[in-house]
Amino acid sequence: MLQKILLAFDGSPNSLKAADYALIMAQTNHAEVEIIHVRESVTSYSTRVIYDAFEMEKELTSEAEEIMAQAIEKFKDTGVIFTTSIRTGDPAEVICEEAEKIGATEIVIGSRGMNAVSRFFLGSVSLKVLSHAHCTTIVVR
């Protein structure tokens, strides 16, 4: 039985589909949802020109809040109990840690639709979560 769903949300089209899926699952099973957005830290942009770390931090925070607002819009007024969290770090690691911390019975995440070459060089958050999560993980396309 689903009790707590962790929705990993990045604002991408497949993430929006994952939100729809998580919402339906929560309504059907009377489950709670934690929506998490994991943003990169300023230090992860070391290959780019950093004009001002403080300004970049503000920009990343603002972007994360805008992304989370999309998820909140989907869940408000649905009757589903949900919480939100914006975290910083490696997305796969943070998602797995948070799922274990809150006792999630399921993780729902959208597929990024990367090709094989991109997955090889960049890695895939959903693949890493599938490999390391302590609970059932659903990847939505």
The domains of the chain are located at 4-140
* Angle in degrees, 0-180, between the axes of helices 91-102 and 125-132, rounded to the nearest 10: 40
pTM: 0.89
How does pLDDT run along the chain (141 residues), one tens digit per residue? 679 999 999 999 999 999 999 999 999 999 999 999 999 876 655 555 556 777 888 888 999 999 999 999 999 999 999 999 999 999 999 999 999 999 999 999 998 755 555 555 445 899 899 999 999 999 998
Q: How many CB atoms lie within 10 A of CB 117?
A: 8
Pick the CATH number of 4-140 from 3.40.50.620, 3.20.20.110, 3.40.190.10, 3.30.2130.10: 3.40.50.620
